[in-house]
């Protein structure tokens, strides 16, 4: 089997899980590392050697993060969209019949919400004037009333809100094309907020857990955007790796099936910052009221399809995982 992005945060953990399960793993990554072939998924010739004799590809390689501004668009499209297209064409050329794709919950945009009058609704992007005034909660797109956050399932219509999200959805569409045209079996794992050892350090493209962890490590207060009450599902990287192993056995020929990979227990961003600060004995978080246009308010996953279809259930609880993460080595 081949793992792209095998030298990365999630890819490295995925490679370890597959090796422990007895798989013969070939790693492929831009960065040279032990047991990894250095190369670019956008280079069709570089893929010929690692794909030779492979029956499964686990595609983790991607440019991640929400992006800084529109200047990032070409890089996201090049790596995530063009790179995936080149990989899929190479897989077809080599007769590889199974793929596990690292997708993301960002394809949903806002999560699911319930309106007392109109039932299940999907709010559009929040208005800048509302965000400027500290009005962070979405409202019903039909009547403007307050709505309640609900869990979102895999059949919800996609609504990507930033460059990364758009390219992850494009990856899913390309993969579905590949599956239909080749009869290959494809699984898309929609990761929710992944954290854990070897997570990349604080950069403009880092996840919020790494940004907060880096702040408390420096002895500075984590800066929490909006009012800190935005809800996310934080899932440990070891659980994500186990989900990939389960997905390798679960594909259906000729189609793509998507699964949420999540803990099933949401927490607020403010809670995340407070727990990490407390674990390190650092300054308490500062709620800034700042915002990013590409962010959504709440995204809470339903893990039921993954439980039924993959037999996957997250095993690392929030308190246990954050206690470990507070002192774990970062990438």
Nearest to 252 by CA among 55, 98, 57: 98
Q: Look at residue 294 in the predicted model and tell me its pLDDT.
A: 78
C-beta neighbour count of 53 within 10 angstroms: 11
Kindly report the pTM of this predicted structure.
Answer: 0.95
Q: Look at residue 204 in the predicted model and tell me its pLDDT.
A: 59
Q: Look at residue 68 in the predicted model and tell me its pLDDT.
A: 62
Pair 289, 270: CB distance under 8 Å = no
The phi-psi region of residue 109 (left if phi > 0; otherwise alpha if psi is between -120 and 50; otherwise beta) is left
Q: Helix 269-280 and helix 318-325: axis angle, to 10°?
A: 50
Q: Look at residue 124 in the predicted model and tell me its pLDDT.
A: 87
Nearest to 210 by CA among 163, 272, 162, 161: 272
Locate tokens 């390219």: which residue? Answer: 167
Instruction: Quote the CA–CA distance of 79 and 54 in Å, as a whole number.
Output: 22
Give CA separation, 183 vs 94, 124, 178, 251, 254, in Å. 14, 36, 8, 11, 4
Nearest to 291 by CA among 243, 246, 240, 226: 226
pLDDT per residue rounded down to tens, the chain (331 residues): 999 999 999 999 999 999 999 999 999 999 988 889 999 999 999 999 999 999 999 999 999 876 667 888 999 999 999 999 999 999 999 999 999 999 999 999 999 999 999 999 999 889 999 999 999 999 999 999 999 999 999 999 999 988 999 999 999 999 999 999 999 999 999 999 999 999 998 765 568 999 999 999 999 999 999 999 999 999 999 999 999 999 999 999 999 999 999 999 999 999 999 999 999 998 999 999 999 887 899 999 999 999 999 999 999 999 999 999 999 999 8
- Kindly compute the dihedral angle of the four CA atoms of residues 7, 11, 16, 18, in this order, to the nearest 10 degrees: -130
């Amino acid at each position: 089997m081949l793992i792209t992005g095998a030298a990365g945060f999630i890819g490295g953990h995925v490679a370890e899980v597959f090796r422990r399960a007895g798989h013969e793993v070939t790693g492929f990554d831009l960065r040279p590392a032990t047991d990894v072939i250095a190369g670019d998924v956008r280079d069709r010739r570089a893929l010929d050697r690692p794909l030779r004799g492979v029956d499964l590809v686990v595609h983790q390689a991607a440019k991640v993060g929400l992006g800084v501004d529109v200047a990032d668009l070409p890089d996201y499209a090049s790596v995530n969209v063009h790179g995936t297209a080149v990989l899929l064409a190479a897989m077809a050329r080599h007769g590889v019949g199974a793929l596990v794709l690292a997708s993301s919950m960002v394809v949903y945009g806002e999560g699911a919400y319930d309106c007392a009058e109109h039932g299940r609704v999907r709010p559009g992007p929040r208005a800048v004037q509302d965000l400027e005034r500290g009005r962070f909660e979405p409202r019903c797109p039909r009547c403007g009333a307050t709505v309640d956050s609900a869990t979102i399932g895999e059949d919800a219509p996609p609504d990507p809100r930033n460059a990364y999200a758009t390219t992850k959805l494009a990856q899913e569409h390309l993969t579905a094309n590949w599956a239909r045209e080749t009869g290959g079996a494809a699984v898309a794992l929609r990761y929710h907020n992944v954290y854990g050892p070897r997570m990349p350090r604080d950069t403009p493209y880092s996840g919020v857990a790494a940004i907060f962890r880096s702040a408390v490590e420096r002895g500075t207060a984590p800066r929490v955007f909006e009012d800190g009450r935005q809800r996310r599902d934080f899932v440990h990287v070891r659980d994500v790796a186990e989900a990939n192993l389960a997905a390798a056995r679960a594909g259906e020929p000729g189609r793509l099936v998507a699964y949420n990979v999540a803990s099933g227990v949401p927490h607020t961003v403010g809670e995340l910052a407070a727990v990490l600060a407390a674990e390190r004995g650092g300054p308490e978080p500062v709620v800034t009221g700042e915002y990013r246009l590409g962010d959504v308010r709440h995204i809470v996953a339903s893990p039921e399809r993954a439980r039924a279809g993959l037999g996957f259930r997250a095993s690392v609880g929030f308190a246990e995982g954050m206690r470990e993460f507070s002192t774990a080595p970062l990438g």
